[in-house]
Amino acid sequence: MNIKVGMGSCGIAAGAGEIFDLLVKRAKNTDSGVTPVGCNGMCYLEPIVEVDGKMYTQVSEADVDDILSGIKPLHEAEQNQNRIALRNCGIINPENIDEYIEKGGYQPLNLTPEEVIEKVKASGLAGRGGAGFPTWFKWDACRKATCSSTASPCSDNKKYVICNADEGDPGAFMDRAILEGDPHSVLEGMLICAHAIGRGAPSGNSSLRDGALVEGIIYVRAEYPLVIKRLEIAIIQARERGFLGNQFDIKIKAGAGAFVCGEETALIASLEGERGMPRLKPPFPAEKGFWGKPSNINNVETFANVPWIMQNSGKAANTKVFALTGKIAKGGLVEVPMGCTIKDVVFNIGGGIQGGKNFKAVQLGGPSGGCIPASLQDTKIDYKSLAETGAIMGSGGMVVMDESSCMVDMARYFLDFTCKESCGKCAHCRVGNRRLLDILERICNGSGKDGDIELLEELSEEIKAGSLCALGQTAPNPVLTTLRYFKNEYEDHIKNKKCTAKSCKKLLTYSIDLNKCKKCNLCVKKCAANAITDFVINDEKCTKCGFCESLCKFEAVTVN
- Which residues lie near other proteins (CB under 8 A)? 131-133, 137, 258, 275, 277, 279-280, 282, 284, 419-428, 430-432, 434-435, 438-439, 455, 458-459, 462, 465-468, 470
Rg (CA), the chain: 26
Instruction: Name residues whose C-beta falls within 8 Å of residue 443's C-beta, 6 or more positions apart in sequence.
Output: 408, 412, 452, 490, 493, 494
Rounded-to-integer distance, Cα 532 and Cα 65, Å: 52
Backbone angles phi, psi at 109, to 5 degrees: -105, 100
Q: Which is nearer to other proteins, 9 or 477 (CB)?
A: 477
Q: Which is nearer to other proteins, 142 or 277 (CB)?
A: 277
Min dist CB 217 to other proteins, Å, is: 23
Rounded-to-integer distance, Cα 145 and Cα 64, Å: 57
Min dist CB 290 to other proteins, Å, is: 17
Q: Which is nearer to other proteins, 350 or 448 (CB)?
A: 448
- Amino acid in the structure at residue 284: F
Distances (CA, A) of 157 to 160, 198, 264, 500: 11, 9, 21, 61
Min dist CB 424 to other proteins, Å, is: 3
Alpha carbon 423 to its chain's center:
20
Min dist CB 463 to other proteins, Å, is: 8
**E-state strands within 277-380:** 295-299, 319-326, 332-337, 359-364, 370-373
Min dist CB 158 to other proteins, Å, is: 22
Q: CA-based angle 437:439:441, to the nearest 5?
A: 65
Min dist CB 281 to other proteins, Å, is: 9
Q: Which is nearer to other proteins, 135 or 325 (CB)?
A: 135
Q: Which is nearer to other proteins, 330 or 428 (CB)?
A: 428
Min dist CB 287 to other proteins, Å, is: 8
Q: Which is nearer to other proteins, 77 or 131 (CB)?
A: 131
Q: DSSP states of 169-226 as a string?
A: STT--HHHHHHHH-HHHHHHHHHHHHHHHHSPPSSS-HHHHT--EEEEEEEEETT-HH
Q: Which is nearer to other proteins, 249 or 416 (CB)?
A: 416
Min dist CB 460 to other proteins, Å, is: 11
Min dist CB 445 to other proteins, Å, is: 13
Q: How far apart are the first and last CA of the chain?
A: 58
Q: Which is nearer to other proteins, 236 or 427 (CB)?
A: 427
Rounded-to-integer distance, Cα 375 and Cα 25, Å: 53
Min dist CB 441 to other proteins, Å, is: 9
Rounded-to-integer distance, Cα 275 and Cα 282, Å: 20
Min dist CB 155 to other proteins, Å, is: 21
Q: Which is nearer to other proteins, 17 or 257 (CB)?
A: 257
- Whether the CB-CB separation of 213 and 159 falls below 8 Å is answered with yes
Q: Residue 153: CA atoms inside 13 Å, Cβ hemisphere, count? A: 1
Q: Is 506 helix (H, G, I), strand (E, B) or coil?
A: helix
Q: Which is nearer to other proteins, 460 or 482 (CB)?
A: 460
Q: DSSP states of 100-147 as a string?
A: HHHTTTT------HHHHHHHHHHHT-B-TTTT--BHHHHHHHHHH--G
Rounded-to-integer distance, Cα 461 and Cα 420, Å: 21
Min dist CB 527 to other proteins, Å, is: 32
Rounded-to-integer distance, Cα 522 and Cα 516, Å: 14
Rounded-to-integer distance, Cα 294 and Cα 198, Å: 10
Q: Which is nearer to other proteins, 138 or 199 (CB)?
A: 138
Rounded-to-integer distance, Cα 298 and Cα 65, Å: 45
Q: Which is nearer to other proteins, 145 or 483 (CB)?
A: 145
Q: Which is nearer to other proteins, 43 or 297 (CB)?
A: 297
Rounded-to-integer distance, Cα 103 and Cα 304, Å: 14
Min dist CB 367 to other proteins, Å, is: 13
